[in-house]
């Protein structure tokens, strides 16, 4: 292995298979473990909650927006895994002074599959990566068959409370909403717009995500006042935003979600 390009077209030079990995992205940490690389992970963020033992077994180096750079250096990583949306440009640049840095950039299911396969190449886990991709593709195909004749619904997907923020276009969430036959009311707005008024006409469904803000039953009641004709549903944010091996479970979750509406 000599060099490859990551998902923001940066060239990464690797002399050998990385053995000491720091992951600054929760969904990528889970993916690494499902690829059989848990023993190679030396650092994660405080938000890396899957598998649930990971933060007890390795060093926590901070969050996704702020890291303890000296702690990262002390772990002597061979590679640091980042994501364009979840980590800042400053973090990526600081990490580049330590070792090779791979940056993912995910908008679609195809982007996710490409990332998984690239990790397979980088970490010499190509067979494991292919199995995960195959599982995702099978689940996606079954879900497509299930959803194809289901009614399209107008939806809003809330991710934050103060200020109120929703998922817009150019997001992985918006892509997955589309796969669910959901028409995102805010898909013309860029990324994660702030909503100044939560009164919207002709909304069939309001989805309140479990992350990054943990919406709960109390918020369901609050939103019902503003959307009396819509169903207000709490949803698992990991299923709509995690882009690694979590996708092997996501489509069954989406099917059950639709059946419960």
Mean pLDDT by 10 residues, the chain (261 residues): 89 95 98 98 97 95 97 98 97 97 98 98 98 98 97 97 96 98 96 84 93 97 93 98 98 98 94
**With the CA atoms of 238, 242, 248 and 251 taken in that order, what torsion angle do they form, in degrees rounded to the nearest 10?**
60
Measured between alpha carbons, how far is 97 from 88 in angstroms, rounded to an integer?
Answer: 15
Whose tokens are 């995960």? That residue is 132
62 dihedral zone (left: phi>0; alpha: psi -120 to 50; beta): left
Residues 6+ apart with CB under 8 A from 107: 170, 171, 172, 175
pLDDT score for 246: 98
pLDDT score for 198: 72
pLDDT score for 1: 60
Please compute, for residue 105, the number of CA atoms within 13 A of its CA located in the half-sphere on the CB side.
Answer: 11
Provide the whole-model pTM.
0.95
pLDDT score for 197: 75
**Longest Cα–Cα distance in the chain:** 59
36 dihedral zone (left: phi>0; alpha: psi -120 to 50; beta): left
Measured between alpha carbons, how far is 63 from 129 in angstroms, rounded to an integer?
Answer: 26
Domains, the chain, ordered by start? 3-105 (3.40.50.1980), 147-260 (3.40.50.1980)
Residue 19's nearest CA partner among 116, 129, 123 is 123
- Characterize 144-160 residue by residue with b for buried, 16 or more Cβ atoms within 10 angstroms of its Cβ, and e for exposed: eeebeeeeebbbbbbbb
CB 103 within 8 A of CB 82: yes
pLDDT score for 85: 96
Instruction: Tell me the H-state helices in the chain.
Output: 26-34, 54-57, 69-74, 89-96, 109-122, 126-147, 172-179, 217-226, 237-241, 247-260
pLDDT score for 199: 65
């Amino acid at each position: 292995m000599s060099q490859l390009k990551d998902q923001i077209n940066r060239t990464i030079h690797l002399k050998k298979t990385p053995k000491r990995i720091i992951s600054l992205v929760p969904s990528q940490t889970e993916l690494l473990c499902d690829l059989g690389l848990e023993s190679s992970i030396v650092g994660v963020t405080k938000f890396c909650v899957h598998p649930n033992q990971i933060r007890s077994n390795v060093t926590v180096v901070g969050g996704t927006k702020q890291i303890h750079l000296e702690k990262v250096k002390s772990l002597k990583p061979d590679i640091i895994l980042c994501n364009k949306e979840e980590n800042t440009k400053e973090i990526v640049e600081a990490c580049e002074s330590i070792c090779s840095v791979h940056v993912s950039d995910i908008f679609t299911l195809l982007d996710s599959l490409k990332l998984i396969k690239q990790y397979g190449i980088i970490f010499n886990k190509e067979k494991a990566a292919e199995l995960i991709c195959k599982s995702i593709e099978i689940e996606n195909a079954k879900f497509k068959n299930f959803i194809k004749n289901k009614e399209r619904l107008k939806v809003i997907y809330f991710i934050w409370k103060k200020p109120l923020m929703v998922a817009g276009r150019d997001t992985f969430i918006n892509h997955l909403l589309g796969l669910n036959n959901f028409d995102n009311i805010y898909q013309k707005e860029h990324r994660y717009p702030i909503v100044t008024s939560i009164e919207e006409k002709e909304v069939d469904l309001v989805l309140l995500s479990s992350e990054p803000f943990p919406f709960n039953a109390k918020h369901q009641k609050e939103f019902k006042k503003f959307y009396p004709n819509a169903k207000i549903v709490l949803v698992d944010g990991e299923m709509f935003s995690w882009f690694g091996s979590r996708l092997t479970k996501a489509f069954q979750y989406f099917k059950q979600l639709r059946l419960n509406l």
